Amino acid sequence: MRSLFIRTLAALLAAGALWLAWVVAVPVSLPTSPYSVTVGPNRTLSQVARTLEDEGAIRNRWVMVALARASGADRKLKAGLYEFSSPVAMWQILRRLSEGSPDQPSVTVIEGWTFRQFRQALAREKDLKPVSALWSEERVMAELGATGQPAEGMFFPSTYFFVPGSSDVDVMRRAYRTMQQHLQSAWDAREEGLPYSNPYEMLIMASLIEKETSKEADRPQVASVFVNRLKIGMRLQTDPSVIYGMGERYQGRIGKEGLRRDTPYNTYTRAGLPPTPIALPGQAALMAAAQPIESRALYFVARGDGTTHFSESLPEHNAAVRKFILKKGE
């Protein structure tokens, strides 16, 4: 009986080893030729493996994840577009992804970044020529055909693929043109009666919304509060704009002095919109600025769980502040 058990166990182990070798080492016929897979900067290897399995490029995603973790390849992924033109084994795909040599590298521009952060991201890309590294903001915008236009807010957050050896200006030009397209589309779809004189003012509003909340469902409501305030001449009193105006003086806390110090971006001391956007807004923020929900809310406060509480009156708002902010600090 013991001998039978050992022989059965050995057969199972041999079958498992053969199956594992088939999964890892035997090439798979690709669903298309060439076949491409995109690795984004915030995409985990588990997510990439699921895509590969769903599209028939590998046989088992769990084996790929385990192999990647065991070899350390899961910590070496480089964002970009990878192409495969002939049948390929799992280990070959994994080696390619971990070597960090995509056919088309990419740079991802994050919603809410500033123009400065955008330029820093471009500078980190070794496959991009740093043509604009020493240029001023004015020189950059002139090169893009927008002489005199402030750069802040004018570039659309997205992932941009590029050919190795391209210039950083090429990526900037695409991001700039993409923002112009999305901004014009949002402007054309805007609700009537909004307090914007032109698309640029709506872009400024979108940047404020972008920085005030990351919760997409709350953005049209935040937009409604700001629109309601503009319509009655009430100051926006939005902290992200104050922080932007403080620049390097901001060290994690605004404080009473920061709220009182007048800058063009201090929406506590000045009425209306700030003079420029304060960040790069994404599509959701643009559409929230163009299509705010109808409400009478004039105030909002973060609940502390990622969502926002909206109020129509100051007493209601003060009660919400006591509930969500002051009580937590006790």
Q: Binning pLDDT at 50, 70 and 90, where does residue 330 land? A: very low
pTM of the model: 0.78
Residue 242's Cβ-side half-sphere holds a number of Cα atoms within 13 Å equal to 23
One domain for residues 304 and 196: yes
**How distant is the alpha carbon of residue 59 from its chain centre?**
31
If asked whether residues 174 and 195 sit together in one domain, one would say no
- CA 49/CA 168 separation, integer angstroms: 31
> How many structural domains comprise the chain?
3
The string of pLDDT tens digits covering residues 65-115 is 888 888 888 888 877 888 888 888 888 888 888 887 787 888 889 999 999
Q: Are residues 200 and 258 in the same domain?
A: yes
Q: Please identify, among 138, 167, 185, the residue that sits at the C-terminal boundary of a domain.
A: 185
39-42 own/partner pairs: CB under 8 Å, 24+ apart: 39/77, 39/78, 39/79, 39/80, 39/81, 39/82, 39/97, 39/102, 40/79, 40/106, 40/108, 40/159, 41/79, 41/106, 41/108, 41/159, 42/108
Task: For residues 228 and 310, state if they share a domain.
Answer: yes
Residue closest to 227 by CA, chosen among 293, 311, 183, 315: 293
Domain end, chosen from 185, 213, 231, is at: 185
Q: Is residue 4 part of a domain?
A: no
Same domain, 70 and 177: no
For 17-42, the pLDDT digits (tens) are 777 788 778 888 888 888 888 887 66
User: In this predicted model, what pLDDT tens digit does every residue of 160-216 receive, in sequence order?
Assistant: 988 888 899 999 999 999 999 999 999 999 999 999 999 999 999 999 999 998 888
Residue 271 domain flag = yes
pLDDT one-digit tens code per residue, 214-268: 888 899 999 999 999 999 999 999 999 999 999 888 887 888 888 889 999 999 9
What are the DSSP calls for 251-298, one per residue?
SS--HHHHHHS--TT-TTTS-S--SS-SS---HHHHHHHHSPPP----
Identify the residue whose tokens are 């950059």.
Answer: 140
Range of the domain at 153: 106-185
